[in-house]
Every structure is written in C-alpha cells, then in structure tokens.
Chain A
C-alpha cells in the first residue's frame, strides 16, 4: 500500500518536473524543415569586406522529391535546381552566417556541409584563422573536405552540377572521399587543422577548378605534342583535356606551409605524395614499353604495405630514405611483348619510373615549397626523448636541406584474365634483350610541368 503511494508521489513529482520543463520551452527544438542546410561553403577574398563567403544551400524539394509524394520520383531534375547559391561579403564566417539569415527564411545549419572551397588568393594569404573558427563550431564537421580552386569559389560553386547523383552532397562525398583515383589526396579539415599546428607535417588540400571547355575543339586547341603519349597525371585541375557537362574537376594537390598555400602538385605528383604518406590506394600507371616501340604497358599499381621511412641527420642535413613496397597487375600491354619472359625488366622499368617520379616530387617539396607535406618529420621525432628537444631542433628549418633516397620494391602479381597473349605477330616479333631498352624512354617521357 505504502509503496504504491511512494511511487505515486514520485510520479507526481516527475510530472510536475516535466510540466515545468515543458512550460519553460524546448529551447533547441528545431524542425528539420525550419532549417536550411548548406552543402558547401566557399571562402574568397572579399571586395566589400574581408571575406567573401558563398553558401551552396540544398534545395530539398528538388533533391528529396516533391512533398506530394506521387510525382516526386525520378532524379533531381524534377523540381529544378538542386541547390541555391548565396554569396555575401563579411568580416568572418559566423557573421557571414548571420548575414545570410537576412536573405533566406530558414535558419542555417552547417552540420551537413560537406566541403569547404577556398580560393587560391585567400589560401595564399593564409586561412588558419578560418579553419580554427570552423573547428571550434560544433556544427561544422571535422570531416569536411577542403578544396582549393583557382577560380573564385562563388563561380566554382555555381558551376557544380551533379548529373549522376540527385544530391550534390553525395557528389562531394563520392568525388572527394574516393578511393579509386589517386590524382588528388583526401583532405579533411580536421587533418588540415592538426597539420597547421604540427611541426612535423604540413597541410594539403585538394586542388580543383572549373574546366571551361565546352567542345572537343577546345581540347584540340590545347595542341599536340607529337606522336608520343603524355602521361595522364601531368595535368592540374583547370587544364584537363576533358569535355563534360560536369565542369568541376578535382586534380592535383594544393600545398600549404603553415596556413598559407605555397604551390600546387599535379596529378602524378599527388600520386607520389600519397605513396609516400602510405595513403595511396591504387591507380593505373603508364609505363613505356621495354621494346622501345612507343607503346606502353599499363600497370595497376597497388600499395600493399605502408612505406618505411627513416631519417638520418648527417652534417646538419636530413638524409631521408623512403622505402615503397608496391605491387601491380598488368592491365594492358600494347606491344607484342611476351611479358612473361621479361618480368624483371618490366618490373625494373616500373621501379625506375616510380622512383624517378617520387624523388622529383620529394625534392620539389623540399626545395621549391619548403613544406614537409608528407610528414617525414614524424620519423625524425623518434630521435628525441622529450618534446622540448624536438621543438628546439626545429624540423621545418631543416627540411629544405633534405637529401632523398627513394627505394622502390615492385612485384608484378597478376596478369588479368589473359595470362598469355597469342597475337599472330608475336612469334615474328624481334626478340629484345633486356639491356637494349636503356636510355630510350626517359627522353620521350614527359614529367609534366617541371
């Protein structure tokens, strides 16, 4: 009996409490349809104010299908444009959000922003103050992608149109969080923020831009470099020979030192960058044929193990050894080469190509950018016992003097579905000694812009 009364009493108190809480209101309660969700944020140097901020807002009715439900079905095209873009000039990010709320009816919620697009001009002036502002805010996600473009972000974001997806958010996630192309790194704002603050690594961002080409003729106008092939990784975002409805291209890496951008890497350098950091997944490498015929061998190169890196200090200069452990499959052999007879030769050729590329890339980071984007300093840290010693050593000032030694291990593992090609010319083809290929390829091989 008494027990019941006790529970009744507890119940009464609970009810009272809940009622009083309910009366005081649900302060943070927001309906989903009372909010506007930007999918991308663009930051640029402003004219009317310090910062020009662009928000790409999702238009749910055209993305999520109409409210009626019956006709909503197919794709994003049904209700018009899936996004709406707003640009404001503002002193800072958060005051910009305030200003945007004057324009649009719904409250801005940044929790679904996928990407932050920064103009090259702003990036060169330094963006650490904006990055830390975003890291402090609870709505900005730490896994937002960070992209640098040559074009103004407002133009860039207006150009974004996702054809394959109804939802631009999915477009960003699939494009920038990819693991099937390695021509640009995966750059997330949390890592960027950490890298700004760290001594042993420098931040990077994805390089992206608008590819303005409207027709194939414009590709033709890019000119032709004779009969030899050009490596597909030599391009940067804006100059890719492609025509597409999709104007935005991600290709290459923006290199930062501290919070400031100091340069760019093209596609193939980005591949090297990821190989050295161990985040490389796989990509196709075009290797000149050892027969010297102008044909190529296409190799799907995979990184199975993380690279082993050691740093030695000799005469005040860091000697950095990077050991890459790669393997690959044939995907195409254009010539009639009996590849199974010369695996070593082909492997050596691949090794040479990769090593050359990686070494050049590393030298460039040290000499041209003076920015340890690969985080090679991390392997120096172990030589110190305490943090003070490490800080006193001042790695960033040493990095530019680094000497690089790249060792590549490469093994061909598989050959695809065809284990042995039986072309008619095969038997007639001249037997090539593995020695004869030397020297032939380097002169024809282009290393991109440098």
Chain B
C-alpha cells in the first residue's frame, strides 16, 4: 500500500499498540517461562530483561537519529538500495508472520483447553481468523484505534486479577531470593530480551505518526509500561504459585484467575477473563498480521496491501497448523521465538541501520530527510 498520507495517529495510540503487542504474552506464558528459567526469581529476570531491552533500544535508537521519520524499510532503501529493502522487509515480515502464526495457534489451543475442549482446533481458530481478516481489511486506522481502546480495558482486567488474588499471596515464596542463581538471571535474562520482539512493529510505525519524532519516545514508554506488566506479572505469580509448582500451569494467569475467590459469590470468574484475554489476543493478532502483510508488500514494492489480506490470512491459517502438537508449539515458542527474537528485533535492525548509515555516507547522494 502506498503510504496514504492521510492516515496518521497520535503518540498514545502508538504506545498502546506497542504495549499490547509486547504484553499479550503475560496472559499466555510469560510467567511460567520466567519460573522455568530462574525459579522464583522470575520477577528479577523480568526486571533485568526490561532493563536490557531498554539498553538495546537505546543503542538501536542512537543509530536511528539521522533517519528520523522513516520506517526501517525506507532506511534500508536509503542505505542499501532496493536489495537491502527487500531483504529487510522479508526478514521482518517473516518474523511477524511466525509470531502471528504461533500466537494464533497458542491462543486457539488455550481456548480449546479451557472452554471448548471437544471442538476441533480449526473451529476455534476460525473465530480468530474471522476477527483478523476483518480487522486486516478495515485497515491500520481501525487496528490502532482499537488498540487504544482495548489495551486500557485489558489492563484494568489484569489489575483486577492481580488484586483479586492478593489474599492468596505468600511473601516467603520469593525466597531464596536469587532463584536458580544469578547466572541464570543474567544469561537467560539476556536471551529473554526476545520477549520484546514485537518492538519491531515500532520500526514500521514512524511514517504513521502525527509527529515522526515521537517514535523514540513511544518505544521508551512502551518498554517501561511492558516492564511493569512483566515484573508485576511474574512477581504476583511467584507469590501465589510456589516455585516447583509454578512451572506446571499451562496458562499461568488463567490458573491464577481460577484461584480467585472472595466469598461465596465472587469466585469462578475466570471465564470472564476469557473476554479481556481473547480481546487482547485478537488485537494482537490483527496488528501483527496487518503489519506483517504491510511490511512484505512494502518490501516487494506493492502499492496496496489490502488485496493481500485474505490470501495471507489463509497462509497464516495453514501455517498455524504446522506444529504437530501443543508441546511442540510451546517448544518453538520458548526455544526459538523467545530465545532468538532479540536477534531480529535488535541485532538485525541495528545492523540494517549501521549498513544504511554506512551506505548513506558512501552514497552521499541519497536523499534522506
């Protein structure tokens, strides 16, 4: 799609978009993952990971300075011509696509497990597909605005869960304070910077922003906000589920919500939780999917992304079925996406920017902004 000059949105929408993208995994597996990595020191790892992500982001952004207002594909083109643009676009688009496919599979499996156990997976996924296709066809404006509405609501729901679970917490669950050890926290924490992989959508955003200079700020705010969710999420989770058990639940936040019981009436509310959960999943999926298609089409120099929505959605639908079973989905998620995601989001984008900077200096003639 040729960048329609008239589609613009503000900083708040962008922050909500990125925050929701990053934080959806809190609902899914993040807490269990931290428990697996570092035992009961997951919150420390979350904090460390967020700090690392901020550092990486700072480094990448220090390269971004001279390209202000351009998205990563424009940058690649400015520095390395169409070849670099196409490569970058396909790498990033591919990464987003993998994210979308795995997350869709995971969410559908989750829903199937908790509320529709006898329905076939394709039936459950069909609902997600319907939402994704419609959002994709309606375009980026609708997706972004929807983010701005859904994210605060999902946040409120999440905080309700955290507050509701308060009577069940046990502070001594945090001890021994370092969990499985400092080495784990640092090493695994570094790899887990990948949980911020969705940040790469941010590098596609600048042309859409009302004020292109906001991109930098959006990233910092979104990372900080996400780190709040990550740290509170794994902290409360550890406080409620003691360590060895905390590796068990398939859906940590759902299991937490199941434990909520305030009196005889206010209990069994985890199904309500399906609402905020599915909502934020749909918003996540539609955003990642839309930007995946947008990135690919822009990299290929296509004028319109919209006609590609349904074909790509069908590919996505099929791709989501590729992993054989739930365990292999979890394996892909934790061992590939959340271990090497940083390589795409930070390292690859950083390299592209360095290459672009070098190319620009060498080419000199290229007109940036």
**Residues on A close to B: CB < 8 A?**
10, 13-14, 17, 21, 24, 27-28, 135, 138, 141-143, 170, 173-174, 177, 190, 193-194, 197-198, 200, 375, 378-379, 381-382, 384-390
Contact = CB atoms under 8 A, between A and B. Distances in A.
* Majority-rule SS of A interface residues: helix
A28 B116 CA distance: 6
Contacts of B261: 143
A382 B258 contact: no
Given A141-B268, A381-B175, A388 B181 contact: yes
A83 B7 CA distance: 63
Given A28-B116, A141-B268, 11 more contacts: A14-B130, A21-B127, A27-B123, A28-B118, A141-B258, A170-B264, A194-B242, A375-B172, A381-B172, A385-B177, A388-B181
Contact of A17 (B117, B126, B258): B126
B113 A138 contact: yes
Contacts of B123: 21, 24, 27
B69 interface: no
A138 B117 contact: yes
Contacts of B134: 10, 14
A197 B245 contact: yes
Contact of B259 (A17, A142, A197): A142
A385 B259 CA distance: 29
A131 to B, nearest CB: 12
A177 B265 CA distance: 13
B117 A21 contact: no
A244 B255 CA distance: 40
A27 B120 contact: yes
A343 to B, nearest CB: 34
Interface string B240-272: 011111001000000100110100100110000
Contacts of B259: 142-143, 190
Contacts of A379: 172
B180 A388 contact: yes
Given A17-B126, A27-B123, A28-B117, A382 B244 contact: no
A385 B178 contact: yes
A83 to B, nearest CB: 19
20 contacts: A14-B134, A21-B126, A28-B117, A28-B118, A135-B248, A138-B114, A138-B117, A143-B261, A193-B245, A198-B243, A378-B170, A378-B173, A385-B176, A385-B177, A386-B181, A387-B40, A387-B176, A387-B178, A387-B181, A387-B243
Contacts of A173: 264
B242 A198 contact: yes
A378 B177 CA distance: 12
B179 A386 contact: yes
A142 B339 CA distance: 32
Contacts of B114: 138
B341 interface: no
A182 to B, nearest CB: 17
B137 interface: yes
A174 B113 CA distance: 31
Contact of B137 (A10, A170, A384): A10
Contacts of B181: 385-388
Contacts of B179: 386-387
Contacts of A382: 172, 175-177
B178 A386 contact: yes
Contacts of A375: 172
B178 A378 contact: no
Contact of A194 (B39, B180, B241): B241
A19 to B, nearest CB: 12
Interface string B24-51: 0000000000000001100000000000
A143 B126 CA distance: 33
Contacts of A390: 176
B44 to A, nearest CB: 12
Interface in B196-249: 241-245, 248
Contacts of B244: 197-198
Given A27-B116, A141-B268, A378 B172 contact: yes
B180 A198 contact: no
B366 interface: no
A142 B258 contact: yes
A321 B181 CA distance: 29
B347 to A, nearest CB: 30
A142 B255 contact: yes
A267 B222 CA distance: 54
Nearest to A378: B172
B62 interface: no
A89 B181 CA distance: 47
B56 to A, nearest CB: 27
B173 to A, nearest CB: 8
Contacts of A198: 242-245
Contact of B180 (A17, A177, A190, A387): A387
A267 B178 CA distance: 39
Interface string B157-184: 0000000000000101101111111100
B119 interface: yes
Contacts of A388: 180-181
B245 A28 contact: no
A384 B133 CA distance: 52
A234 to B, nearest CB: 31
Contacts of B175: 378, 381-382, 384
B170 A389 contact: no
Contacts of A13: 133
A246 B126 CA distance: 52
A142 B249 CA distance: 12
A389 B178 CA distance: 11
A138 B303 CA distance: 48
A170 B265 CA distance: 11
A17 B259 CA distance: 36
Nearest to A6: B137
Contacts of A17: 126, 130
